[in-house]
Amino acid sequence: MAEEQGVELGLRVGVSSAGGAHAAAEEAVAQAMHDARDAVFALVLATDQYDAESLAAAVNEQLGLLPWAGCTASGVIAGGALLRKGLVIGVFTSRTLRVGVGVAGRVSTEPREAGVAATALAVAAMSSQTPHGTQALIVLPDAVRGNAAEVVRGAASEAGTGPAWTGGGSGDNLSFVRSSQFARGRAYRDHVVVVALGGAGRFATGTHHGYHPYGPPALVTRAGGAVAAELDFEAAFEVYRRTAAERGDEVSTAGFATFAMAHPLGIPQADGDFVIRDPLTTQPDGSLRCVAEIPDGTWVRMMEGSPDDLIAAARLAADQAKRAAGAPLSGALVFDCVSRALILGDDRMREELGAVHDALGADVPMLGCLTFGEVGALHHGVPQFHNKTAVVLGFSG
């Protein structure tokens, strides 16, 4: 994690699994700030074991006047390690990098407007410091409460496809109750935090999931937001269940969550790829609630992916980011879907993170978190909100 001599843009990572917010912040900040020069910004990612307000106060105390932002997640990534409970802080160092942070709400009621506002604020805050354009945007929406896909569309309408887009939905310990977003030295809920980076370095993202379709396509004949009510004019769960049954998998409403974690829905793209939608629960009317929106009128496919496919996809995302950002990388951020960790289990998850780190470069500072949905662009297109996807932001300079 040492900063390379002569590298203008750097990332220093500090981590702590201490149970208390103050101790964790003190330890993680001490590591990240050790010998750090020209610190300009800190990305703070934490599991939900800490009281969000206490954690914000502790981080403020440790970082002083250094701007910072972040969110809570189901797990945090520091290098190749995954912490189910802990705090990771990545400090960006640079003499020229400029950072702007924007925060806006409420994503539960006005997701698109929140995305627009937070992005505009972040870009404005960054542009006031440098004439250079935005090079990367980190979008951290509250995915527990709102339509994060709309948040990302709002953000994209404000900043376009020029920057490298990354980020993920803030989450909790899979209870899907609450998540926190950190900005301006305090904790928010039902908000989206956007971090704009510019003025130094080269940023690029890789976005891959590793799932492939099976079974016949189904037409979304009635949907609203993240709820697919009907497929092929039938209750969505019934169609889902029947498609699984044709493969020999019996799915009940009770076991739906576990099965669906490994069998999401896919929305086909023109280039043959799919945008993944993760069904979370079935509802009494037979509809399916997903992590992100299901467009009305689209065709969806049942998707599956082996652990090897998923790990390969994560490596591919890292490779893509590294190629586009240019070697050697100064650092990387990983936003990996929490469901992938659940599917892979701890061992294979460490394997995936190891593959990512290996692809990026073993000495490249890396941090990230397990998210409720990921922000990235497939094949350099417009940014979208994905599920069950690994998004890697690499940067050099």
Which residues contact other proteins (rule: CB under 8 A)? 116, 120, 123, 133-134, 153, 156-162, 208-213, 217, 219-220, 267-273, 275, 295-301, 309, 312-313, 316, 378-382, 384
CA nearest neighbour of 149 among 390, 373, 335:
373
C-beta closer to other proteins: residue 176 or 214: 214
In angstroms, the CA 48 to CA 372 distance is 13
Sequence-distant (6+) residues with CB within 8 A of 185 are 56, 59, 60, 68
| Nearest distance from C-beta of residue 382 to other proteins, angstroms | 4
Answer left, alpha or beta for residue 305, where phi above 0 means left and psi between -120 and 50 means alpha: beta
| Nearest distance from C-beta of residue 33 to other proteins, angstroms | 34
Total number of residues shown for the chain:
397
Query: Is beta strand 191-198 parallel, antiparallel or unpaired with respect to 134-141?
Result: antiparallel
Q: Is 311 helix (H, G, I), strand (E, B) or coil?
A: helix
In angstroms, the CA 391 to CA 205 distance is 7
C-beta closer to other proteins: residue 24 or 267: 267
In angstroms, the CA 379 to CA 232 distance is 30
C-beta closer to other proteins: residue 254 or 270: 270
The total of other beta-carbon atoms located within 10 Å of residue 162's CB is 10
| Nearest distance from C-beta of residue 134 to other proteins, angstroms | 8
| Nearest distance from C-beta of residue 220 to other proteins, angstroms | 8
C-beta closer to other proteins: residue 246 or 363: 246
| Nearest distance from C-beta of residue 378 to other proteins, angstroms | 6
C-beta closer to other proteins: residue 90 or 383: 383
* Token output for 20: 């208390």
**CA 285 to each of CA 226, 240, 338: distance values in angstroms, whole numbers, following the listed order:** 15, 14, 27
- Decide: 58 and 26 in contact? Cβ < 8 Å: yes
C-beta closer to other proteins: residue 107 or 313: 313
Q: What angle do CA 362, 364, 369 make, to 5 degrees?
A: 100
C-beta closer to other proteins: residue 189 or 209: 209
The total of other beta-carbon atoms located within 10 Å of residue 122's CB is 30
| Nearest distance from C-beta of residue 1 to other proteins, angstroms | 30
| Nearest distance from C-beta of residue 313 to other proteins, angstroms | 5
| Nearest distance from C-beta of residue 344 to other proteins, angstroms | 16
C-beta closer to other proteins: residue 68 or 211: 211
